[in-house]
């Protein structure tokens, strides 16, 4: 139990300290480029707080750090194949979100194009044609796969060694409902100070957005822990996490509802949760079918 307390205290403590630091930076730095750089540093250090917690917890339990990390990574062909495939699940979930959102009148596919045009004009004084902006959006969506496997994976690894590595193994290495809920809830609550203090993901809802994000993280963990169990490695969770960070913002951009209502309803709210649940149910159903069983990788 001592090692688990160390893990949680370090992971949550470092994250909260970084949030307070970045809050003070945002209040004192006016230059947008400098602020973006500080934001990247904040994000990187924060995402490696669970790794720091895991390393100290492993030391506290007198286990070999090197052997534990090797077990978490589970390097091999199986891990590599799942690492490459995992981001495709996120593309499917985004597609389901857009389809459902269009059906219920919540999604506006033209909105991201307008945002690209407006942001480009504000940043460099150049007004793009809508066709060019649309092409840029398509390129970004396609490039998200590359980002998920590279820079985003590097950032996400810091969290995954902690949540889907140390904590998952500490809870018994079984992707059952209890483990999914605990890992997902802890992961979501770990974001609480970033959401409440900085408006991370929920700039209007702030603290009221925490329960929504906890539910979001529980559902994401249902995918990720199944991938980890199948691959015997955290690497597919890493690329899945990287793809979520690269792609899920599209669900927010396409949500036609503004303000707090949009946050509660959109990609990180009720409709996003519904899309993730539908994707999970679909994949479980396909996996249980005879044809789906033949697609499993051994």
pLDDT of residue 122: 77
* Dihedral of alpha carbons 200, 141, 271, 296, sign: negative
pLDDT of residue 132: 84
Confidence of residue 290 (pLDDT cuts 50, 70, 90): low
Instruction: State pLDDT tens for residues 89-137.
Output: 999 999 999 999 999 999 999 999 888 888 787 777 777 788 888 898 9
Q: With a cut of 90, say whether residue 282 has pLDDT above it.
A: yes
pLDDT of residue 166: 98
Higher-scoring residue by pLDDT: 287, 166:
166
Confidence of residue 33 (pLDDT cuts 50, 70, 90): confident
Q: Single out the residue of 84, 94, 74 nearest to residue 236, CA to CA.
A: 84
Task: Give the length of the chain.
Answer: 298
pLDDT of residue 298: 36
Q: What are phi and psi of 297, to 5 degrees?
A: -100, 130
Residues 11, 54: Cα–Cα separation, whole Å:
8
Q: Which region among 163-177, 221-235, 277-291 has the lowest average model confidence (pLDDT)?
A: 277-291
Mean pLDDT for 268-291 is 89
pLDDT of residue 115: 85
Report helix, strand or coil for 281.
helix
For residues 59 and 18, the answer to whether their CB atoms sit within 8 Å is: no
Higher-scoring residue by pLDDT: 164, 129:
164
Instruction: State pLDDT tens for residues 241-264.
Output: 999 999 999 999 999 999 999 999
Q: With a cut of 90, say whether residue 296 has pLDDT above it.
A: no
Q: With a cut of 70, say whether residue 291 has pLDDT above it.
A: no
Burial code (b: 16+ CB inside 10 Å, e: under 16) for 135-159 equals ebbeebeeebbebbbeebbebbbbb
Tell me the angle at which helices 235-247 and 130-149 cross, rounded to the nearest 10 degrees. Answer: 160
Q: What is the DSSP annotation of 200-240?
A: SS-TTTGGGGHHHHHHHHHHHHHHHHHHHHHHTSSHHHHHH
pLDDT of residue 31: 87
Tell me the angle at which helices 49-60 and 32-47 cross, rounded to the nearest 10 degrees. Answer: 30
Mean pLDDT for 75-84 is 97
Q: Where are the beta strands (DSSP E) in the chain?
A: none
pLDDT of residue 297: 39
Residues 92, 71: Cα–Cα separation, whole Å:
29
pLDDT of residue 120: 81
User: What token pair was written down for 58?
Assistant: 């492993």
- Percent of the chain residues past pLDDT 90, beyond the cut: 83
pLDDT of residue 289: 55
Q: Single out the residue of 167, 196, 149, 202 nearest to residue 58, CA to CA.
A: 167
pLDDT of residue 130: 81
């Amino acid at each position: 139990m001592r090692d688990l307390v160390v893990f949680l205290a370090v992971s949550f403590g470092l994250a909260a300290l970084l949030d307070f630091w970045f809050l003070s930076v945002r209040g004192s730095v006016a230059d947008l480029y400098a602020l973006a750089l500080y934001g990247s540093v904040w994000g990187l250090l924060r995402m490696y707080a669970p790794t720091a917690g895991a390393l100290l917890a492993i030391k506290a339990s007198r286990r070999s750090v090197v052997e534990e990390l090797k077990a978490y990574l589970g390097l091999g062909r199986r891990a590599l194949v799942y690492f490459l495939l995992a981001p495709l699940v996120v593309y499917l979930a985004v597609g389901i979100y857009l389809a459902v959102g269009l059906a219920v009148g919540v999604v506006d596919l033209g909105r991201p194009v307008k945002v690209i045009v407006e942001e480009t004009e504000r940043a460099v004084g150049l007004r793009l044609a809508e066709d060019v902006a649309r092409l840029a959006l398509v390129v970004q969506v396609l490039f998200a796969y590359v980002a998920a496997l590279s820079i985003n994976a590097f950032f996400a690894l810091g969290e995954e060694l902690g949540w889907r590595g140390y904590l998952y193994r500490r809870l018994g290495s079984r992707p059952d409902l209890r483990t999914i809920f605990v890992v997902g809830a802890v992961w979501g609550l770990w974001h609480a100070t970033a959401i409440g203090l900085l408006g991370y993901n929920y700039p209007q809802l702030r603290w009221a957005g925490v329960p929504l994000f906890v539910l979001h993280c529980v559902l994401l963990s249902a995918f990720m822990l199944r991938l980890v169990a199948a691959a015997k490695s955290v690497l597919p969770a890493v690329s899945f996490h990287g793809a979520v960070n690269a792609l899920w913002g599209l669900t927010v951009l396409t949500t036609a509802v503004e303000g707090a209502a949009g946050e509660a309803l959109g990609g990180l709210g009720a409709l996003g949760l519904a899309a993730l649940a539908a994707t999970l149910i679909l994949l479980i159903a396909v996996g249980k079918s005879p044809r789906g069983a033949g697609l499993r990788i051994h």
